[in-house]
Amino acid sequence: KQESNKISTDDLIKLVTEYKRLDDCLTSSYVPIKPFEELSTRQPSVEVEEFVQDTIKFTQPYRVYKNQIYVYPKHLKYDSQKSFARNITVCVEFRSSDEEVAKPLKCIYGKPGGPVFTTAAFSTVLHHSQNPDFYDEVKIELPTQLHEKHHLLFSFYHITCDINAKTNAKRKEALETPVGYSWLPILKEGRMSSQEFNIPVSCNLPPGYLAIKESGNTKVSKNGVNI
């Protein structure tokens, strides 16, 4: 609790100014701010990204180049699937092609203590839930030139929680078992849209999946195969 009569306005302004004088600070994009020295004994400070508000009152000109998106997986409904899975995690990747040999781009911001960029981001696992809610944030540095093949690929895995070596040796089960896939193109009619999406989950990842068009509650490919 902060008593208003215990600190003056001038002292408060001075206190806020001191916070801006932190040394060894990084921007929200992990870009060092001078003065900055290589640290070996302590961790640097990281700025928090402030989202632009829609109100004109708070609008400011863009002075720094940024081309990023934030992805927030929210919910998965999996209890109606034929395959059984209840310790589910979602892996988010950013790809530039749907070819079988395509690899995810190394443009996802890593977690603190790890590399700056990585190729995939994994959510936390909600134990024994077939309809998990996710609370993870995925920050992605977009390429300067986007095309229709750029997309987000969501891979869902069942995580085996039984770490008993003898049990796993008998069952011959992997710790991560793929149980579904979903994808979302970045561009729609040449533009990016910032909104919530409800997308179906496929039990497998078909070749050329970006060519599959949505029709009602299912997705139908060019050759008429339902997923």
Residue 89 lies in a domain: yes
Would you state the structure tokens that stand for residue 169, as one six-digit string?
């040796």
SS3 114: coil
The contacts of residue 27 (CB under 8 Å, 6+ apart) are 33, 46, 47
What confidence tens digit (pLDDT) does each residue in 129-168 have? 888 999 999 999 999 999 999 999 999 998 887 666 555 5
Statement to judge: residues 82 and 181 lie in one domain: yes
What is the rounded radius of gyration, in angstroms, for the C-alpha atoms of the chain? 23
Average pLDDT over residues 40-64: 75
Domain count, the chain: 2
pTM exceeds cut of 0.85: no
- Return d(Cα 73, Cα 133) in angstroms, integer: 8
Statement to judge: residues 162 and 216 lie in one domain: yes
Average pLDDT, the chain: 80
Statement to judge: residues 13 and 122 lie in one domain: no
